[in-house]
């Protein structure tokens, strides 16, 4: 099980070594790892940007992002699943393009969290 309290910079940089500098920037000067803040600042704009590209279905980074979402949704504790739902995928409901394209890439467990968002947000 992936416990929210175990999430740290290494969790991200192990999967995305190319984001190491950004992760270091986001964590610099903090005594504790602020998962919602760091994950949002590292992944939200990047995910939306990649989803808006024509080749989004063939983008390795985007595939790895959605694989991470699924891993966290499948193996995470409740706080970790909340991180995925509220911080990482809810913002994709802000735009019609990111909404429709993200829904194509969701794994089984991430899709459950996605569907929960529909209980409190309207489809764009």
User: What's the confidence (pLDDT) of residue 12?
Assistant: 98
Would 124 be classed as within a structural domain?
Answer: no
Phi, psi angle pair for 77, to nearest 5°: -75, 180
Separation CA 92–CA 103 (nearest Å): 9
Contact criterion met (CB below 8 Å) for 80 and 72: yes
- The pTM (predicted TM-score) of the whole model is 0.96
Separation CA 9–CA 110 (nearest Å): 22
Would 85 be classed as within a structural domain?
Answer: yes
Would 25 be classed as within a structural domain?
Answer: yes
User: What's the confidence (pLDDT) of residue 102?
Assistant: 98
Would 122 be classed as within a structural domain?
Answer: no
How does DSSP classify residue 34?
A: -
Domain that holds residue 70: 4-117
Separation CA 121–CA 124 (nearest Å): 9
Would 8 be classed as within a structural domain?
Answer: yes
User: What's the confidence (pLDDT) of residue 97?
Assistant: 98
User: What's the confidence (pLDDT) of residue 2?
Assistant: 98
User: What's the confidence (pLDDT) of residue 51?
Assistant: 98
User: What's the confidence (pLDDT) of residue 124?
Assistant: 92
Would 110 be classed as within a structural domain?
Answer: yes
Would 123 be classed as within a structural domain?
Answer: no
How does DSSP classify residue 87?
A: I
User: What's the confidence (pLDDT) of residue 75?
Assistant: 98
Token pair listed for 7: 């999430």
Phi, psi angle pair for 119, to nearest 5°: -80, -15
Ranges of the chain with pLDDT below 50: none
Number of domains composing the chain:
1
């Amino acid at each position: 099980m992936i416990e929210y309290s175990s999430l740290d910079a290494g969790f991200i940089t192990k999967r995305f070594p190319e984001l190491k500098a950004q992760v270091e920037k986001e964590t610099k000067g903090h005594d504790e790892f602020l998962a919602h803040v760091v994950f949002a600042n590292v992944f939200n704009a990047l995910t939306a940007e990649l989803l808006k590209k024509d080749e989004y279905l063939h983008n390795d980074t985007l595939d790895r992002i959605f694989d991470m979402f699924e891993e966290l949704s499948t193996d995470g504790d409740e706080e970790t699943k909340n991180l995925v739902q509220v911080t990482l995928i809810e913002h994709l409901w802000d735009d019609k393009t990111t909404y429709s394209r993200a829904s194509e890439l969701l794994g089984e467990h991430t899709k459950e969290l996605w569907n929960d968002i529909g209980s409190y947000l309207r489809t764009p």
